[in-house]
Structure 1
Amino acid sequence: MPAKTATVLDDRALNRATLARQALLAPTDLSPLDTVAHLGGIQAQEPQEPFVGLWARLRSFAPVELSDLLTERRAVRVHLMRRTVHLVTAEDALAWRSRFDAMLRQRVMGVYREDLKDVDLAELAAAGRAVMSDGEPRSMSELVAALAERWPAVGRRPLGEMLVSALLPVAQAPPRGLWRARGGVRNVLLSSWLGREIDPLTPEGPEGADPVGQALVRRYLAAYGPATSTDLRSWCGLAGLPAAVSALRPGLVSFRDQRGRELLDLPDAPRPDPDAPAPVRFLPAFDNAVLGYHYRSRIIDDEHRGLSVAGERVVLVDGRVAATWRTGKDGAVAVIPLRPLHSSEQDEVVEQAERLALFLSEGGSDRARIDAPTG
């Protein structure tokens, strides 16, 4: 009997699957906390952007709901995927943080290897933890100032980056990340902030017995699948998940994209009709719906790929990046098309831009416009 040929999913089919998983095809009635959990966290190095990310996905959302999650310590801002700041649930932060230790250290060393070559990282971690053990939030400069005499020949920036984004499991304490709040980064040990030690790293056992790694694979596919193993690695930054993928493979389904790459997915995850209508959606800077893949052609044209990493806020029209947006000094939401928009598309874009303007101004203004492309 000939081998079964895997079903091919083209970019449009993958696009609709992504939109469905990301609550961008239809808004979700989940709570903000459950949405953050479902998405595996929200990229949050720009403190105000997660508010737009949730507004784009939830049927009903008020900014205070996310601020409350942070002040009530049910969600936290931490360095995690790809060494970028992510807003994740407290439970995920505790469960996942140890699994990211090695990757975080490697990424900092990739930048500051020469600066830190003579530093005993275990000694640095112990010294930093001793300073932070009182539970008081500190800026990176305050933390490093307390340790500088022990490493006088090392630059303060390399020491600080290694401590707060790799060696020490820390959260960024409010008011950082609260709605319309201004405040620098002040770090506090996760264990102090959440009242519980982070889960220890479970050694990888036989046959890929890596419970955290397997959980990450499942969570990724639930929110981003169908996807390649390379997409998974690009999302989380972890290199050590092949064993977890192999252990889960018997319970997964396999497809091919139109370029012949294998796509893995959960059997019962939604894969909508490729012709399903996709409403206009406004996304924040660095949204993982775009950045959560290595192969992003399902949602953005290759010629525009750089927009997402440059921090441009984007507009999805028919499910694909078709414009960028910004707010002006007058509070209006200005849309800059990347391609000509049909009249019906323009009407829907303006309608959604007005809704966004109302959200950002808390009902004070619904001004919106479509500007001419620049350049």
Structure 2
Amino acid sequence: MGDGARYIGVAERRARLALRHRLAPQARAGTPEEVADALVALHGSDPATVYLAVGARLTDAASTVAGTDRALYEDRTLVRMHGMRHTVFAFPTGLTAVVHASTGLTVAARERAALLKDMAKAGAPDAAWLKEVEEAALSALGRLGQATAAELAQEEPRLRERFVYAAGKPYEGVHTVATRLLRVLGVEGKVVRGRPLGSWTSNQFRWALAPEHHELPPSDAQAELLRHWLTACGPATEADLKWWTGWRVTDVRRALAAIGARAVSLDEGTGYVVEGDVDPVAGPREPWAALLPGLDPTAMGWQGRDWYLAPELRPALFDYSGNVGPTVWWDGRVVGGWAQRPDGEIVWRILDRAGAGRDAETAVAAQAERLAAWLGSTRVTPRFRTPVEKELAG
């Protein structure tokens, strides 16, 4: 970093987060597409996260479920697919080609090789056989439009064949060809997750053919993805970028150079923003509160989180694998956690009282009422449970 790089402090970083992540009331969005565009990607490992993340950022939270269903399954303006770090996200459809070329290709090659290796160890059929099954499955999916793995196996019975995975290891298991092959096809960008079985909180889903897209050069796609993310989340450090994308540091540096990113000074050291984003950003008009779901893309947006989440709160708010649970936010920082009880009540607890007084409690209570109103009779249990969420849920 050269001398004279502008310093961006914690207060301004929180201001950028409030406005660009559509969390301050004045910045809320009108549609799920606007939310996804602002955040680049909505975590989809837990299906409920997509809806809860959207609802927290919409002007009209009552339209959350209908609007998100429309975007995902009718208009297909959002697509749920594998992306960074081999994680399932919901992306704006216009970014699917960028995500596939920038993050998917390398992971896809590794996943297919692992499947063939595991099948060979188990004495299962070879690559040519697997290719036949794959082509038959994709053809069936084209005819059916959307289908579960079981429905596809009715069209192509070889998908039901089973093989032992990791024989003799503590984690030994039995996989069907369908389970592993559909996962590989998802990472390869050939299929995507479709409408779930049951409600919007269901983890059981159908598969659909992926939307067609042009193949992009990986380096161009990496630059484009990083430009989108840094616009939403800048400033960020190299470590943040490497963690979020799952790329090598050489790929991160090449992409930063390709988009002409500007270096700035952060408390952690050198950070980066997109070209033209160095000027100061004013904060929201008033302090704001939000209840964000487990795995929310804001809470999981950076590797270095001390500027919005005190380290002493992590044991209560994260599980053992590093997945964040439901969080309470006050004016740009995490101050506590929340949960839904079996009777539907939204309960919350402020864990960090510094600067979160009576005004914060009043605002958080209002957000809890807002969330309970649009959830109605739906009950949501996070896929990855954390100590404070389990305690509050009772």
Q: Shorter-chain TM-score: what band?
A: 0.7 to 0.9
Flag the 1:275–1:47 CA change in 2: closer, same or farther, 3 A.
closer
Aligned equivalent of 1:40: 40
Please tell me whether the aligned partners of residues 105 and 188 of structure 2 are also in contact (alpha carbons under 8 angstroms): no
Name the SS for the 1:48 alignment partner.
helix
2:86 to 83, 86, 104: 83
Task: State the TM-score, normalized to the length of structure 2.
Answer: 0.76
Aligned equivalent of 1:349: 364
Please tell me whether the aligned partners of residues 299 and 319 of structure 1 are also in contact (alpha carbons under 8 angstroms): yes
Flag the 1:109–1:60 CA change in 2: closer, same or farther, 3 A.
same
Flag the 1:183–1:14 CA change in 2: closer, same or farther, 3 A.
closer
Please tell me whether the aligned partners of residues 41 and 89 of structure 1 are also in contact (alpha carbons under 8 angstroms): yes
Q: CA deviation at 1:43?
A: 0.7
Distance (Å, rounded) in 2 between the aligned partners of 1:177 and 1:94: 29
Please tell me whether the aligned partners of residues 48 and 177 of structure 1 are also in contact (alpha carbons under 8 angstroms): no
Distance (Å, rounded) in 1 between the aligned partners of 2:132 and 2:234: 40
The one-letter code of the counterpart of 2:15 is R
Distance (Å, rounded) in 1 between the aligned partners of 2:38 and 2:245: 15
Q: CA deviation at 1:360?
A: 1.2
Flag the 1:211–1:125 CA change in 2: closer, same or farther, 3 A.
farther
Residue 24 (structure 1) aligned with residue 27 (structure 2)? no
Aligned equivalent of 2:4: 5
Please tell me whether the aligned partners of residues 243 and 303 of structure 2 are also in contact (alpha carbons under 8 angstroms): yes
Q: Which moved more, 1:30-39 or 1:293-302?
A: 30-39
Flag the 1:267–1:168 CA change in 2: closer, same or farther, 3 A.
closer
Distance (Å, rounded) in 2 between the aligned partners of 1:360 and 1:183: 18
Aligned equivalent of 2:170: none
Task: State the TM-score, normalized to the length of structure 1.
Answer: 0.80
Distance (Å, rounded) in 1 between the aligned partners of 2:30 and 2:129: 44
Q: CA deviation at 1:8?
A: 2.2
Name the SS for the 2:334 alignment partner.
strand
Please tell me whether the aligned partners of residues 38 and 232 of structure 2 are also in contact (alpha carbons under 8 angstroms): yes
Distance (Å, rounded) in 1 between the aligned partners of 2:113 and 2:300: 21
Q: CA deviation at 1:93?
A: 2.1
Distance (Å, rounded) in 2 between the aligned partners of 1:290 and 1:142: 37
Number of equivalent positions: 352
Flag the 1:260–1:274 CA change in 2: closer, same or farther, 3 A.
farther
Please tell me whether the aligned partners of residues 98 and 199 of structure 1 are also in contact (alpha carbons under 8 angstroms): no
- Structure 1 vs Structure 2: percent identity of aligned residues? 23
C-alpha distance after superposition, 1:299-324 (max 9, x if no partner): 21223345354341101012111111
RMSD: 3.6
Please tell me whether the aligned partners of residues 138 and 188 of structure 1 are also in contact (alpha carbons under 8 angstroms): yes
Q: CA deviation at 1:78?
A: 1.1
2:236 to 227, 230, 240: 227
Distance (Å, rounded) in 1 between the aligned partners of 2:359 and 2:72: 39
Aligned equivalent of 2:208: 188
Please tell me whether the aligned partners of residues 218 and 266 of structure 1 are also in contact (alpha carbons under 8 angstroms): no
Residue 325 (structure 1) aligned with residue 338 (structure 2)? yes
Q: CA deviation at 1:262?
A: 3.0
Q: CA deviation at 1:109?
A: 7.9
Flag the 1:232–1:130 CA change in 2: closer, same or farther, 3 A.
farther
Aligned equivalent of 1:53: 53
Flag the 1:37–1:186 CA change in 2: closer, same or farther, 3 A.
same
Residue 338 (structure 1) aligned with residue 345 (structure 2)? no
Flag the 1:178–1:81 CA change in 2: closer, same or farther, 3 A.
farther
- Counterpart mapping for 1:82-121 below 5 A: 82-105=85-108, 108=111, 115=118
Aligned equivalent of 1:248: 259
The one-letter code of the counterpart of 1:344 is D
Please tell me whether the aligned partners of residues 116 and 127 of structure 2 are also in contact (alpha carbons under 8 angstroms): no
Q: CA deviation at 1:283?
A: 0.6
Please tell me whether the aligned partners of residues 20 and 272 of structure 1 are also in contact (alpha carbons under 8 angstroms): no
Flag the 1:122–1:64 CA change in 2: closer, same or farther, 3 A.
farther
C-alpha distance after superposition, 1:23-76 (max 9, x if no partner): 113333443213212321211222122222112212224021111112212222
Flag the 1:150–1:263 CA change in 2: closer, same or farther, 3 A.
same
Aligned equivalent of 1:174: 195
2:137 to 117, 131, 136: 131
Q: CA deviation at 1:96?
A: 2.7
Distance (Å, rounded) in 1 between the aligned partners of 2:203 and 2:230: 35
Q: CA deviation at 1:115?
A: 3.1
Flag the 1:183–1:23 CA change in 2: closer, same or farther, 3 A.
closer
The one-letter code of the counterpart of 2:8 is L
C-alpha distance after superposition, 1:197-235 (max 9, x if no partner): 232242x5xxxxx32212101100111111123212222
The one-letter code of the counterpart of 1:99 is S
- Unpaired runs of 5+ in structure 1? 205-209, 364-369
